Structures are given as structure tokens and as C-alpha cells.
Amino acid sequence: MRSRDDEPFHACLRSPESNQASPGVSTRCRKGARSRYAPGVPETLEPIITEQQIAERVAELAARIDADHADVDELVLVGVLKGSFVFLADLARRITLPRRIEFLAVSSYGDREAEESGAVRLIMDVRHDIAGKAVIVVEDIVDTGHTLSYLMRLLGARGPASLQAITLLRKPERAEVDVPVDYVGFDIPDVWVVGYGLDFAERHRTLPDICALRRTR
């Protein structure tokens, strides 16, 4: 795997539609800056996408979802726990169409078996039947693509009227399976990110910005 350590983040971040560097993304990327969120911990956290940039992008994505589903009676937004809970909360409140919220949970990177084999396991299912519904799976991040690919197969087999996926973040360099994603917030380089719902060992989920986390020893 190629290291992008020498490359500034703003050169790597892309807003997928425009294929341009996302505007303003570099402003708070102070490479190597000491974490202001976790003083005393041997790690650095660098904001790579700010709260405001996220808010703007979420509003754009919600507007596109509204426009693409003008003829739909009700959307079912299926959040993938835990990482998507903040994104789902903001997105669902920006969408203006009638919508319902569901959650499911899958095994995560804490599960050694899942990490090594790419196997994904459902540990909590949605509450209501999705047959005949317009469904959008809401992910925090698509990394290798195994989780989303598994979920699209699982939910697709239940006869939804339509099935789409949205992810706030995607790491194209890490893709192992080709899974189409209908709406992508930001393509990011191969760095571990936390904040806005994303964690490292359950830490940092509630940071307002998305930050790159690096261990310093």
C-alpha cells in the first residue's frame, strides 16, 4: 500500500462530482499539529474536513436526494451503526421528502475475523420490512467496500422498490470490491479518520470535524 504521508491532504481530497480539490479543505490541515482534542495521548489529530465543509456537503447531498426522489411517497433511510449516526441525523433533517429511519449493525474492524477475511456479519437488523420501499443505505465510510457490498446484497434480496447507497467518505485507494455508491460526500486518501461519528477504538466519535489520526509512538 502506497503511503501518502508526503502529500498534503488538500491535494488528495476530492468532491466526486467535480473531480476538483474540495474548496477550502486545506485551511485547517496543519500537518503534524499536536492534537487539541486529546492532549497527553501519543497521537495527532489533524482536521481534514471541517464541520462547516461537512454541513455544506450534507446540504448538497440532501438536495440531490430530494430532486432524485420527487416521485417517491416515502424514503427509508437505513443507517449503519454505529459510525453513520451523526451523518444520518444531519442528512435526514436536511431531506424534505417524507422519510423513515431504520438502523442495522454489522461486525466491525474490532472483529479480527472480519478484518482478515473481509467477512461481514449482521448483528442487528432493521425493524420493519423494506419490500416495495425506496431504500437508501447510509454509511459513514466505504473503505474496502466489503460491508456495503454485503448490505446491498442482503437488502436487495428483500424486494425493495429501489435500493441506493450514500456514504459521507470513501477511500478509493483501499477498494477491494467494486460496489456502486449513488452519493459520495468526499473521496479521501488512505488515512484513518475519526470524528463526526467515526471512531478509533470507540474514541473521538463526537468530534465536530473529520480528523486524520496518527499514532506518534
The option from Mg ion, ligand IMP, none interacting with 198 (CB < 5 to 8 A, set by class) reads: ligand IMP
Q: How far is the CB of 46 from Mg ion (least distance, A)?
A: 21
Is residue 135 packed enough to be buried (19+ CB in 10 Å), middle (13-18) or exposed (0-12)? buried
Residue from 76, 77, 78, 80 touching Mg ion (CB under 5 A): that is: 80
Strand-pairing partners, residue 43, are 215
Q: Which residues are CB-contacts of 32 (< 8 A; sequence separation ≥ 6)?
A: 44, 46
Q: How far is the CB of 130 from ligand IMP (least distance, A)?
A: 20
Cis preceding-peptide flag for 133 (omega within 30 of 0): no
Q: How far is the CB of 215 from ligand IMP (least distance, A)?
A: 13
CA distance 171 to 186: 9
How many C-beta atoms surround the C-beta of residue 180 within 10 A? 10
Residue from 9, 54, 65, 83 touching Mg ion (CB under 5 A): that is: 83
Size of the site for Mg ion (CB under 5 A): 3
Q: Is 143 an annotated catalytic residue?
A: yes
Residues contributing to the site for ligand IMP (CB under 6 A): 83, 108-109, 139-147, 192-193, 198
The option from Mg ion, ligand IMP, none interacting with 102 (CB < 5 to 8 A, set by class) reads: none
Residue from 43, 102, 140, 199 touching Mg ion (CB under 5 A): that is: 140
Helix, strand or coil for residue 184?
strand
Q: Which stretch binds Mg ion (CB under 5 A): 109-117, 134-142, 157-165, 183-191?
A: 134-142
Contact 105, 127 (CB under 8 A): no
Q: How far is the CB of 110 from Mg ion (least distance, A)?
A: 12
CA distance 193 to 187: 12
- Active site positions, annotated: 143
Q: What residues line the site for Mg ion (CB under 5 A)? A: 80, 83, 140
